[in-house]
Structure 1
Amino acid sequence: MTVSSTHSPGPAAGVREAADSGTDPVLKVRGLTRSYSGLRAVDDVSFEVEQGQVVTIIGPNGSGKTSTLNLITGLIRPDSGRIHLCGQRIDNTSVEAIAEAGIGRTFQNGRVFGNLSVADNVLVGMHSTLTASRPFARLARYPLLRWIPLLAETALALVPTPAVRREQRQARIRMEEELSRFGERLTPRQDNYTYTLSYANRRRTEIARALALRPRLLLLDEPTAGMNTTETAEVLEQLLELKRQGQTMLLIEHKLDLVMAVSDRVVVMDNGKVIADGPPRVVREDERVIEAYLGRRHARSDTATGAARPGTATPDGGPDSAVDAHDTADKAAATEERS
């Protein structure tokens, strides 16, 4: 059983209708650019994600991967370029409208509400899909009228109608379904405050919250960061199961064994630019990719000798000269996002 969802006319509704038509890629990025103090953190980036595909962005630290995800989800604005979700332009709309349109995401540094339970964290992810609990939701787009839906939601929280109580029961069923993906890791802990969880379980809670939206496109920023080998293997199985279910996903990941196992396509970034885009087995042999990870001298040597390619190890960085500059840009992006 799922929570029924209807969206008011506007960008989000248009995106949902376009997605149902199936005529456009789920995500189309064209000429995306973002600069900080003259440094281009994202430089003319273009790629697509088709329905049901798993596409992974890889690259050395500071290459612009997280900045690209932040641009797609509206946390920062592009200097130029366009982003289309299911045929509808979204780079000129709000973060809230993008979420309602069907993009769910996790963050590089796990973000859960520590003073809420695991269950409540997941329920928060469903908020934009609720209807009975959110009357007059369309008015939230108008600054002078935002108090009306806020007041209505507060009143219904204090004195819920039968329709609201029914929707709440349905939401809890859906929450339990999302937690069940993680088995004994989360289900027995659903009433625990998330600040009491292990790091890995906080990351799992964040993924469950993103999935609660039933997203058209799921964005995962380093979902296995900080996890050991066993925990990484568990997440890989869960990603493969989502892929079997047809979930469209865009990932950032450093663990290239996982990337090769789950990805339909790999987009490689370096110095803010896309330097390769294709099937995993083709990308791992690309000399530009080898150079980005190991340096020019190693690329020539490896090409000549057939030595190890990216994907046989788990690199976390690249040439220092490129990394230092783009790490500065990523820190600037993070500062802007927090503000």
Structure 2
Amino acid sequence: MSESPREPALAVRDLRKSFGGVKAVDGVELIVAPGEFVSIIGPNGSGKTTTVNLVSGVLRPDAGRVEVDGLRLRPGSQEAAAAAGIARTFQNGRVFGSLTVRENVEIGLHTTVTAARPLRSLARFPVLRWLPLLAETVLALVPTPAVRAERRATAALVDAQLARFPERLVPRADNHAYTLSYANRRRTEIARALALRPRVLLLDEPAAGMNQTETAEVGRQLAELKAAGQTIVLVEHKLDLVNALSDRVIVLDEGRVIAEGTPEQIQNDERVIEAYLGRRRLRAAGGPRRTTAEKVIVGAE
């Protein structure tokens, strides 16, 4: 008897979002299997980051749904997405400059804290919102054995994520984030996302602004995560990184999926070249025959 197919780690179905008269995301479908590495690419303004914002609950979709392991998420709720196991980084790095590297990573564990936040479910009710705040304040001042044990476990998890960057973050664990280089701020953000031990990790241009050496280092770390079975959705403009890591590539243009397949298949898809260079330039290049510039854009050279 054959085994039943596994539930997708992430299922995005008919996702739509408009801003005024602009359809930023127009019926996007995305199915990601457990342990799969999927990249989303496309020209500027194609809807990549908006799609990630919808999946992670930063934005509320106009239509469609997001599921993790078959569980439908509450639309537009970052807390629900995090509780379901979705963690992410942002296109423009977001770290708290006045906090240390260690404290920035610890924030990634906020949805897993239970002993120190015993009444957090009441925070949804405006009349009762003061009760969880009061309980958390009391436990911060007079921690119970359970709270102390949870703090030790949290510290161990933070150390484990910092250890992914032994030369970059470990020596700077107690430094304030504002003192870090740009690349180390991005690494701190990745470590914070991983602290959640996410079911699905969303990375929005993690190598943006990095030089070639730094990009190669990020590529090695992502390859290690992939080898460990981490489910990853990557948005990235550096297509050599995309081609080296991806099991599948999704190409967006004007909010729609225009191509999907392996990196090799995408490299040979004329629709992708048209999306990046435009129909007029494609014709000027002699139709399907590719110029050097076209090869670079699709990562074929």
Fold shared by both chains (TM-score > 0.5): yes
Residue 254 of structure 1, aligned match among 228, 237, 262: 237
1:223 equivalent to 2:206? Answer: yes
- The Cα RMSD (Å) is 1.8
**Aligned residues of 2:54 and 2:76 also touching (Cα < 8 A):** no
More deviation, 140-149/175-184: 140-149
Amino acid of the structure 1 residue aligned with 2:124: R
SS at match of 2:167: helix
Quick check: 289-298 or 89-98, which moved more? 89-98
Q: How far apart are residue 150 of structure 1 and its match?
A: 1.5
1:196 and 2:179 matched: yes
Q: SS in structure 2 opposite 1:224?
A: coil
Report how far residue 92 of structure 1 moved.
2.9
Preserved contact between residue 126 and residue 213 of structure 1 (Cα < 8 Å): yes
Q: Distance in 1 between matches of 2:47 and 2:182?
A: 25
**Residues 137-189 of structure 1: per-residue CA shift (max 9 Å, x gap):** 22223232222122111111111112211111111111111011011100000
Alpha-carbon distance change, 36 to 212 in structure 1, aligned in 2, over 3 angstroms: same
Post-superposition shift, 1:313? Answer: 4.6
Identity of aligned residues (%): 61
Q: How does 1:5-154 map to 2 (within 5 A)?
A: 23-92=6-75, 94-154=77-137
- Report the more deviating stretch, 79-88 or 210-219: 79-88
Matched, 1:312 2:286: no
- Partners of 1:126 and 1:202 in 2: CA distance: 18
Q: What is the match of residue 177 of structure 1?
A: 160
Q: TM-score, normalised by structure 1?
A: 0.83
Q: 2:274 aligns with which of 288, 291, 306?
A: 291
Q: Paired residue for 1:267?
A: 250
Closer, same or farther: CA 207–276 of 1 in aligned 2, 3 Å: same
The residue number in structure 2 matching 1:8 is: none
Aligned residues: 295
User: Equivalent residue of 1:109, what SS?
Assistant: coil
Greater per-residue helix proportion? 1
- Following the alignment from structure 1 to structure 2, what is the Cα–Cα distance between the partners of residues 313 and 163? 54
Contact 1:41–1:67 (CA under 8 A) maintained in structure 2: yes
Moved segments of 4+, more than 6 Å: none
The answer to whether the 8 A contact 1:290-1:309 is kept is no
- 5+ residue gaps, structure 2, are none
Residue 305 of structure 1 aligns to which amino acid in structure 2?
A: R
The whole-number CA distance in structure 2 between the counterparts of 1:158 and 1:47 is 46
Deviation (angstroms), 1:287 = 0.6
Deviations 1:304-338 (A, max 9, x none): 434447663589xxxxxxxxxxxxxxxxxxxxxxx
Deviation string 1:221-243 (CA, Å, 9 cap, x unpaired) is: 00000000000000000000000
Tell me: CA distance 1:201–1:238, structure 2 relative to 1, closer, same or farther (3 Å): same
User: Is the 8 Å Cα contact of residues 270 and 288 (structure 2) preserved in structure 1?
Assistant: no
